[in-house]
Amino acid sequence: MDGTTAGTLVLFAAVSLAPSALFWAALRIPALVGRLRRARPVPSGPPVEQVAADLRRVRRVLAGFPPGTPAARRIGTRQAYDELLVTACRELGVEHRLATLPEGFERELERLRVADTLSRRGLVLH
């Protein structure tokens, strides 16, 4: 076999197999792309930047209550703060006991511990 015959055979094989290979790729690539899209983690909540901004805002509100503010407003704001802390913990993978502790001294200590842990993980709360 000389070079011309070998070249002709390679060209014939490429021309013969190319349509099948392209058709196979057209069928397989969309499924592969779909699997790659599903493999990416989907955020379970709002963006962590938004959670941090909400935490800062609610924290300022809690700190700025004047004397005589109704207890219902204080409790509601504190519960909102706790929910935001829980959301931040879920997004950053921080363990917490906010859902299990009753209102009081231990829960306040847990809030402080969680806020400190979130700060050390890079969430700016001040």
Q: What is the pTM of this model?
A: 0.65
Per-residue model confidence as pLDDT tens digits over 70-107: 999 999 999 999 999 999 999 888 999 998 999 899 99
**Within a 10 A sphere around the Cβ of 15, how many other Cβ atoms?**
9
Task: Categorize the per-residue pLDDT at 43 as very low, low, confident or very high, splitting at 50, 70 and 90.
Answer: low
Which pLDDT score, from 0 to 100, does residue 42 have? Answer: 61
pLDDT at position 26 is: 81
Distance CA 86, CA 116 (A): 13
C-alpha 34/C-alpha 27 separation (Å) is 12
Of residues 80, 90, 77, 74, the one with CA closest to residue 123: 90
The average confidence (pLDDT) of the chain is 87
**DSSP letter at 104?**
T
User: Can you give the pLDDT at residue 77?
Assistant: 94
**pLDDT number for residue 50:** 92
> Would the CA dihedral through 90, 94, 95, 100 be positive or negative?
negative
Average pLDDT over residues 40-49: 73
